[in-house]
Amino acid sequence: MTQHNKVKQASIFTASALALAVASASHAVDFEVGDTKASVYGYAKLDIIYDVDTDLGNSIGHKNIALDGDESQDGHFNMHAYQSRIGFQTSTPVSGSDLVTRIEGDFYGSGGGSFRLRHAYGSWDGILAGQTWTNFYGFVAGTPSIDFTGPPGVGNQARQPQLRYTAGNFSASIEDPDTLGGSEKTENNVVQTSDDAAKSELPDVIARYTDASGPFKYSASAVLRQLEYDAAEDAGATVSDDSAFGWGIALEAAMNVSEAVTLRAGVTHGDGIGGYMNVSPQTSPAYLADNGDLETLESTGGTIGASIKAGPGAINASYNVATVDLDDEGIDGTDTHETAYLNYIWSPAERIQYGIEAAWASRETKGGDDGDATRIQGMVMYSF
């Protein structure tokens, strides 16, 4: 089948649901300067990885999974400390509300080894401006994992520039449209930047509501976005301009069924959302068909998991899946990603976390070819 042109999204390494940022902030080094309370926080984390099958990368990369019949080398050992991070946060009372600023980075830039900016924002009186987690993800459905990629099928935990207003349990934001949906391949197979043939005239608009009732917590979010192809910026284009709208929803829930057991579930669905669904098989929100139409891609994903307290830690298990419907589309490629996690994460002392995890990951193409791989991973994390 002829490969058509795609609107491509930037790949984003996302944090797992381990909530390491929360843990590190609680162990922050605090001090005061006048009316300002300041905190320096972070952690050093070592990941110890053995891939039983093909090398999946520093964190699980489904694209690295060999399909049945493909040649691949089994057995790969890797150790790295790229997830280690450091952050600085301040809080200053200003006109009856706290002015909060935060800057944080880690070493997962370029897939690992380069320092990158994670957070850089300020918030005051309900208004947040800067770069932080997208408002589309509610941090409710994710079951803790050691793998940094995190669960397929939930809302993406990507951090992107945004302007957000929060009132009680409701938040609304306008966010950078290029971070999760930027470049495209043209008819001449030339990659264009997000400011050229692939562009958006409008920001992505996101709304989210999160609440809790007793042991039950839930979150609902929605995104609306615009996608556009500008033929004038595509050298040799044989079609005209076109545009489309994308939309998506994410529902998340968690229930403490007892003091020891927590159940979690979530579902994400949309058309043209691309990377707003974590570990999507097609990070492109749309592709350019032969007739010049910008065709959006429909995505569906989900997660289900449980945590059981045991000794100084918890046993966590989850199954996660992300799919893109390519059956009636004019493009080939991977349409399904799956991951299952089973781990035990514990804290023998304050500021210290250990963990051991078994992960199974698979991918399947539109044509029915599939493959899977197994990873064993351990971690040692020291927080400050």
Q: Are 380 and 371 in contact, with CB atoms under 8 Å apart? A: no
Residue span of the structural domain in which 186 resides: 5-383
Q: Phi/psi of residue 232, each to 5°?
A: -65, -25
* 175 sits in which H/E element: strand 170-175
* DSSP for 254-289, written as a single string: EEE-SSSEEEEEEEEEEES-GGGBTT-S---SEEE-
pLDDT in tens, 336-353: 999 999 999 999 999 999
What is the share, in percent, of the chain residues with pLDDT greater than 90?
75
Predicted confidence (pLDDT) at residue 193 exceeds the cutoff of 80: no
Over residues 216-233, the mean pLDDT reads 90
CATH (domain of 276)? 2.40.160.10
**What is the tally of structural domains in the chain?**
1
pLDDT at 292: 81
Is residue 100 very low, low, confident or very high in pLDDT (cuts 50, 70, 90)?
Answer: very high
Mean pLDDT, all residues of the chain: 89
Is residue 15 very low, low, confident or very high in pLDDT (cuts 50, 70, 90)?
Answer: very low
Over residues 285-300, the mean pLDDT reads 89
pLDDT at 153: 97
SS3 percent helix, strand, coil of the chain, rounded to 5, is: 5, 55, 40
Predicted confidence (pLDDT) at residue 14 exceeds the cutoff of 50: no
Query: What does pTM read for this prediction?
Result: 0.89
* 250 sits in which H/E element: strand 242-256
Is residue 188 very low, low, confident or very high in pLDDT (cuts 50, 70, 90)?
Answer: very low
Tell me which of 22 and 254 has the higher pLDDT: 254
- 152 alpha carbon, distance to own chain's centre: 8
